[in-house]
Amino acid sequence: MPKQQKRKTEKLTPETLQSLDQETLVGMIMRLYEQNVQLSEQLRELVAQKYGPKTERFVDPNQMRLFGAQQPTQSAEPQPQTPKQQDQTSGGTSNKAAKRKGHSRNPMPSWLARVPLRGKDPDQEMLQCKCCAIARNKVSDVITNSRLEFKPAELFVEDFINMVFSCPKCGDTLVVKPDVPEPIENGGAGPGLMTEVAVSKYEDHTPLYRQERRFARLGANISRSTMCGWLAATVSIVRPLYEYMKELLLQSLIIATDDTPIKVLDRKHKRNIKTGRFWIFRGDDDHPYNLFAYTPGRARAGPKTFLKGWNGYLQGDCFSGNQALCAESGAVHVACRAHDRRYYVKALVNNKAACEQMLSMYQELFKIESDARELQLSAKDVKLMREQEAKPILAKMKTWLDQQSLVALPKSSFGKAVNYSLNNWEELNNYLLDGNLRLDNNLAEQEMKRVAIGRKNFLFLGSDNGGENAEVLMSIMSTCRRHNIEPWNYLRDVLQRLTENPGTDLDELLPQNWKPKNGGTPISRLPLARQMASVS
């Protein structure tokens, strides 16, 4: 056994420790102390992660209380009571006492069909007035209650019928075929059913095996492999629209990005599965498109290929691929302040006093942004406001970080937070360059929920081709939500138009320009507060 390895396996005994000199003992104690601190911090973080609150909300401990920290002391002399107080003391009720507002139902949606429910028509004997001996006349209908009712969706069969005409003399025939476009030639699904499968999976996150059961309850046995084929056919029709939105997206001055993993079946890898990646690229307000892209891994070649030829502000986390992309293309990397703040929220359990100081400064920065949005300032005014109010806070923050870097343990959660801030300080402050830039990358990160919720339901992708199909449909669903467009009516109408005429003007089919051709609801009925609407 080598000497070094044998030393690791030796047990320390009192005799061994007595034989060591003081300097060696002090070194051992310091190493054990640092290890103990590091393990204690990890333990507290794990306990907080499992049992603690998940919110990142921070309340400044120095904030003054509205009514004071203590109750006001009572005066020794009795104060004269008002008539209202005397009435309440005596147990009486005041006519001016405000009644507590009760709970009421939400109003019934005005756009839904209404079905009247009336009683049976009374017979003549019941209509006869007992005192006047004449028949009563109907005066009015009074609605006493309204309720919502539900009818399950239904499947129906469309039969394509060729009308055949024949000459009775010579037998010459004329065949008239129905002029109905088919998304899949001689296929078993119409555009409405194909749209339902796509929206159910990529907007409602219902995997195909659950849809298979739902269709069985409606009376049709549709296998999930058949639905996979329908999804692929849908993507092949609408992909030109996706490519056109990508072309417009690359004209954005600002593109926000983020990524998240997804499991993909692959027989070439261990356990027949690998880790793919979904990326989101969110355009600015002049190019309002949310586009997803799938890559087999997290290599920088993915976003580099998608953003080929683009040059502007790239907003995202401090992923090395983003930094390399900006270095090669000349784009400006704008780091996310919410990412940086999150490190201090994580370290709050171990370094409360220091982290509260940083989070208080962050609270001031975010207050500036909320005030600017509330005042609806222009980009020029926002930039000026940041220079006047945010720069002094950032200078104070930088001084604080330099001081903390001298005392923070590098491997502690707090030390990692301080080092992250200092190492990416320039990128974190690049949001000051343009008033259209945001302090954080939260709007792009919100779209990762779409992948995370779907991943929790359907668990994995069947192949890389499945990921490439998913990127198109998720992009359409996400962009529809950004514009508050009802996705089912939109996708069905787009599918129908592109089937009828593949050369349709794609500008008319963009979500912000789309108008239903055959009726339908252009605006989603969901309340805006319940949508992941990417509104700045």
User: Helix/strand/coil (H, E, C) string of 127-161?
Assistant: HECCCCCCECCCCCCCCCCCCCCCCCCCCCCCCCC
Q: What totals of helices (H) and strands (E) does the chain contain, helices first?
A: 21, 8
Residue 72 CB burial class (10 angstroms; 0-12, 13-18, ≥19): exposed
Q: What is the pLDDT of residue 63?
A: 67
Give the Cα separation of 270 and 402 in Å (integer).
46
Look at residue 315 and give its three-state secondary structure. Answer: strand
Q: What is the pLDDT of residue 532?
A: 44
Nearest to 201 by CA among 449, 477, 446: 477
Q: What is the pLDDT of residue 276?
A: 92
Give the Cα separation of 37 and 413 in Å (integer).
11
Q: Are the CB atoms for 222 and 459 separated by under 8 Å?
A: no
φ/ψ (deg, to 5) at 315:
-100, 125
CB count within 10 Å of CB 473 equals 23
Q: What is the pLDDT of residue 28?
A: 83
Q: What is the pLDDT of residue 332?
A: 94
Q: In sequence order, what are the beta bridge partners of 290?
A: 282
Print pLDDT tens along the chain (536 aa). 444 444 444 577 777 777 778 888 888 888 888 788 778 877 877 777 777 776 767 766 666 666 655 544 444 444 555 544 555 545 544 455 555 665 677 888 888 889 888 888 888 888 888 888 788 888 888 888 888 888 888 899 999 999 999 988 888 999 998 888 889 988 899 999 999 999 999 999 999 999 999 999 999 999 999 999 999 999 999 999 999 999 999 999 999 999 999 999 988 888 889 999 999 999 999 999 999 999 987 777 778 889 988 999 999 988 888 888 888 888 999 999 999 999 999 888 888 889 999 999 999 999 999 999 999 999 999 999 999 999 999 999 999 999 999 988 888 889 999 999 999 999 999 999 999 999 999 999 999 999 999 999 988 899 999 999 999 999 999 999 999 999 999 999 999 999 999 999 999 999 999 988 765 567 776 665 444 443 33
Look at residue 363 and give its three-state secondary structure. Answer: helix
Q: What is the pLDDT of residue 76?
A: 44
φ/ψ (deg, to 5) at 10:
-70, 145
> What CA–CA distances, in Å, run from 190 to 26, 66, 157?
78, 62, 9
